[in-house]
Amino acid sequence: MKRLLLYVHFNKNNKVSDHVIYQLKHMRSLFEKVIFISNSELSEQYQQQLVDFVDEFIQRENKGFDFAAWRDGMEQVGFDQLKMYDSVTLMNDTCFGPLYEMAPIYEKYEIQNIDFWGITNHRAYHESKSHYFDEHIQSYYKVFNNNVINSQIFEDFWKNIVDYTNVQDVIDHYEIQSTKIFMDAGFKYESVLDTRALDAKNLLHPDFSYYAPDVILKEKVPFIKVKAFQSTQSNGIAYYMLDYIDRNTDYPKSLVVDHLSTIGYPDLNFLLPSKMITSLSKTVLHQTVAVHLHVYYPELLEEFLDAFKNFSFDYDLYLTTNTDEKEEIIKEMLKCKDAKAKLVRTPNHGRDIVPFLALKEELKKYDIVGHFHTKRSLEAAFFAGESWRTELISMLIEPADNIMAHFEQKQKLGIVIADIPSFFRFNKIVNADNENKQIAPIMNDIWKRMKMNKKVNFHDFNTFTMSYGTFFWAKTEVLEPLFNLEIMDREIPNEPLPQNTILHAIERVLIYLAWDKEMDFKISPNKLNLTPFIDSRTLNQRFYISSENSDDIRLRYVLALSIKKLKRLIVYRFYKLFKLDTTKLFLKE
């Protein structure tokens, strides 16, 4: 069969996601010709990624959305030439897949000589008194056979497409009408999943592609919409959707995770399990590495030097400290441990962050930078600082070889942070409301000052995925905006440091620096195997009820119930007095 694919692409970051490449690669053999129409401005680099899978490339402005793009594709082919094809497939990149082979589906509808077909349809529906949806095929995937292509109504429909600027106008005039018009002309359609007879009473809206992703997956529909993972209704099940795809199809789950991590925020709950670092085989590191350790407590230096000795990769060590006395202790320890390092004096200002930034010109010369410090906590008990530091060492320094293997093998990896130290699971230290009121404004400010590419409002975040203690491994290109940030002395209070400063903002902004560079982050797991019931008990605090007032609570309940019954009696008597209908009076209770 002679088939044509008109594939419409849009990416707000002007890139081609890997899931698009996967689609084109796995569907290329179905079509004699593939035309890729981009409503985003793609660089030559991205265009080159397409050459093996497409025959023609059209670059256009994002006017009229996908329907205007399909119109332009048809005009480039020519309507006379379109009639030479057995079918024309219209597709866009708003879905993941194919989860299953598409060839049998094409063969089925071609044998049946179906006029046009799609993946999912939408039943006729009154959304409101003023807004009615006609029955229609959803437009992310639609196929017309030669019977329809040769009709005048097909040519007239596409030639008269207007460049609407409002997406709802496109839906109302084209997505819905492009089914109705052809049905009214006598053509018949089918859909891989016919949703008209499905039970939709529990859905907010009978759009199964958005509100019922479980049905899409269970019915083995070959594509699932990107927006199915982004809906509020899917927040609690998106992890299981990913798991289902991973276990029941050959589709790489990473394509979903990577795309959603770049077009939206990278640390949504259901994405976080996929961010955990796994064990890789050792590999030769071809990237240069610098390690910075701020040594405020030189008595803890030996612990770090012993851990650094286990690195199998080459690295240069930079140490910073703030007094002559500490310098002498450090030099003696380096000599004792036969370790080499560049020792730099920095003021006792800005904790470990300002000393780190003081080395930026040196650190820029490397591909990867590790940042650590001799952590103690003066604000909490001895055990807090000890557990915090030792767990961070076990998460980021001891497994450094494996972390470097990830950097070597995963080009898009930008930063690795540690998982949450146990102290923050036993103690509710981070107050989300305080972070939103006090730290988010600082994060917004420095984001703007760093001239980042992506727009973000940190007030939108319920909480932040942060590098506790500011321990991390990162590519220097990710850190570049931070290196270029001019921090004024007055922005950093003197010790003892309050809880809401630019230093705390930097601690929380790091993974989003990688996200802005279209790179990902990974989390190195805590080796302590602690039950999540700890988190539940820490976060779900109830108000306290003493044994002395528990009886009073029961009395208050009885009193409230008595008042409710009294109100019912008064209302009932009122209805009877004025001879009103009492049959439905308390049905809602």
**Residue 560 pLDDT exceeds 90:** no
The per-residue pLDDT for 498 is 77
In terms of Cα–Cα distance, which of 307, 316, 476 is closest to 391? 307
End-to-end CA distance of the chain: 63
The per-residue pLDDT for 552 is 60
- What torsion do the CA atoms of 239, 226, 102, 75 make, to the nearest 10 degrees? -170
* 280/442 Cα distance (integer angstroms): 38
Burial of 147 (0-12, 13-18, 19+ CB in 10 A): middle
Span 142-156, pLDDT tens digits: 999 999 999 999 999
Mean pLDDT computed over 228-242: 91
Q: How many CB atoms lie under 10 A from the CB of residue 250?
A: 11
Contact in structure between 585 and 571 (CB atoms under 8 Å): yes
Question: Which residue, chain included where needed, has tokens 């270029």?
Answer: 484
Quick one: tokens of 203? 């859905």
Contact in structure between 470 and 371 (CB atoms under 8 Å): yes
Q: Report CA-CA distances (Å) from 88 to 31, 156, 194.
A: 9, 16, 21
Give the least confident one: 81-95, 379-393, 409-423: 379-393
Helix (H, G, I), strand (E, B) or coil at 560: helix
Q: What's the DSSP call for residue 133?
A: E
Quick one: tokens of 52? 């093996």
Mean pLDDT computed over 456-463: 92
Give the least confident one: 14-23, 415-424, 549-558: 549-558
Cα 148 from chain centre: 40
Helix (H), strand (E) at residue 213 = helix 213-218
* 98/26 Cα distance (integer angstroms): 8
Sequence length of the chain is 589
DSSP state string for 281-339: ------S-EEEEEE-SSGGGHHHHHHHHTT--S--EEEEEES-HHHHHHHHHHHHHTT-
**Residue 312 pLDDT exceeds 60:** yes
Helix (H, G, I), strand (E, B) or coil at 301: helix
Q: How confident is the model at residue 588 (pLDDT cuts 50, 70, 90)?
A: very low
Contact in structure between 210 and 195 (CB atoms under 8 Å): no
Give the least confident one: 92-96, 399-403, 442-446, 497-501: 497-501
Q: How many CB atoms lie under 10 A from the CB of residue 146?
A: 18
DSSP state string for 461-516: -SS----GGG-EEEEHHHHHHHHT----GGGSPPSSP-SSSHHHHHHHHHHHHHHH
Residues 6+ apart with CB under 8 A from 566: none
The per-residue pLDDT for 232 is 83
Give the least confident one: 58-67, 103-112, 181-190, 378-387: 378-387
* 109/1 Cα distance (integer angstroms): 12
Rg (CA), the chain: 31
Q: What is the pTM of this model?
A: 0.87
Question: Which residue, chain included where needed, has tokens 């399909």?
Answer: 70
- At position 385, the amino acid (one-letter code) is G
Rounded to 10 deg, the angle between the 238-248 and 253-263 helix axes is: 150
Q: How confident is the model at residue 124 (pLDDT cuts 50, 70, 90)?
A: confident
Q: How confident is the model at residue 187 (pLDDT cuts 50, 70, 90)?
A: very high
Span 327-341, pLDDT tens digits: 999 999 999 999 999
**Residue 581 pLDDT exceeds 90:** no
The per-residue pLDDT for 430 is 82
Q: How confident is the model at residue 549 (pLDDT cuts 50, 70, 90)?
A: low
* 363/368 Cα distance (integer angstroms): 9
Between 575 and 311, the higher pLDDT residue: 311
The per-residue pLDDT for 543 is 61
Contact in structure between 260 and 95 (CB atoms under 8 Å): no
For residue 98, whether the previous peptide bond is cis, meaning omega lies within 30 degrees of 0, is yes
Query: Where is mean pLDDT largest: 169-173, 207-211, 215-219, 432-436?
Result: 215-219
Cα angle for residues 159, 163, 166 (degrees, 5° grid): 140
